[in-house]
Amino acid sequence: MRSHDYRRFVTAFDRLTPAQIEDARTRLGDARRRREALAEIEARTKRERNCPFCAGDRRQRWGRTRTGVQRYRCEGCQRTWSGRTGSAIRGIHRPDLFLAAARDMLGDRKPLSVRKLAGRLGLDKHTVWRWRMLIQRALSGASDAAFVGVVEADEAFQRESRKGSREWVRHFRDPRAWPAPPRRRWHEYRHRGVLTMRGLSRWQLPILTLTDRSGARRLERIPDRRDSTICQTLRQVMAADAVLCSDGLSGYAAYARQHRIDHFVVGSKPGTRMASPTHHIQNANALHARLKGFIAPFRGPASRYLDGYLQWFIARDRGVDPVAVLRAL
């Protein structure tokens, strides 16, 4: 908006009715949310005034980008840049929509599917998918790395998934060149005559869950449930004087013996779920329930992206600010 148009706009405020003032407040709030991403990009150029190419400190304004972000030119190397140059979102030309996608991922409501979100934002579904993968990488450190006091440990399990893989398509197309994959497709186990998998199998991926009474949370996919794997994982994050509460898996007992810490074992049957009023794994079980509700709408994410989904869940559970994610990127 030109400066004289803006002055006319401001002087008209005195003639607004109360209903119009409320409508104007709502519209200004919506406009602010849409421009918030651009404001963060502008703020970066104010913090980092040196040229990202030659580190020169002399610059001049050089127009604006298509999204309205101020562009600068270095007087030394004669190259131009903006607040997105050199960042992880340098190739994103609609940062306002990118922030909207981040709000959908980290908001209070359940995130929309990729197709529904793409339709709402007017984008291609592949674009929204790439943005989600970028945001998941930014959330890679959402889990805590230190646990003290009373620490609850348990395991959750996620069914192995090769969603998006072409292995069965290649096998049906040319069985001689492409042998059958090592397991059936999951929907085939519901057919008559096919034995149903029961209990745990090598197709169930273990996820180690850690919580403590200060609110620290960690979800980490582990390759197996061997004693050595459990001990190595706990050794990296648990304090030396912590108290461990877990189920009867032998790996937890082995870790407690090696590090000489107190260990309370709880069972799964009524009457054995609490070793004492303060020693239990109810917080870990509640985290499992929330994780199950979060994963269910995705119909089993591909195992190659499971780590990203776990950190996404932790970030939502913590209430991470989408603007902070944009700022980190």
Q: Which residues contact 149 (CB under 8 A, 6 or more apart)?
A: 212, 213, 214, 239, 242, 243
Q: Which residues contact 67 (CB under 8 A, 6 or more apart)?
A: 38, 93, 94, 95, 96
The predicted-structure confidence for 19-46, as pLDDT tens digits, reads as follows: 877 877 777 776 776 677 777 777 787 7
The predicted-structure confidence for 188-245, as pLDDT tens digits, reads as follows: 777 766 666 666 677 888 999 999 999 899 999 999 989 999 999 999 999 999 999 9
Other beta carbons within 10 angstroms of residue 306's beta carbon come to 19
The pLDDT assigned to 311 comes to 93
Contact 205, 157 (CB under 8 A): yes
What's the mean pLDDT in 265-273?
77
Contact 219, 176 (CB under 8 A): no
The predicted-structure confidence for 147-197, as pLDDT tens digits, reads as follows: 999 999 999 998 888 888 888 889 989 988 999 888 877 777 777 666 666
Contact 247, 267 (CB under 8 A): yes
Domains of the chain, each with CATH number or no CATH: 1-87 (no CATH), 150-160+203-322 (3.30.420.10)
The pLDDT assigned to 76 comes to 85
pLDDT tier at 326, thresholds 50, 70, 90: confident
SS3 4: helix
Q: Give 254's Cβ-side CA count (13 Å radius).
A: 14
Per-residue burial over 273-304, b = 16 or more CB atoms within 10 Å of its CB, e = otherwise:
eeeeeebbbebbbebbeebeebbeeeeebebe
Residue 83: is its pLDDT beyond 70? Answer: yes
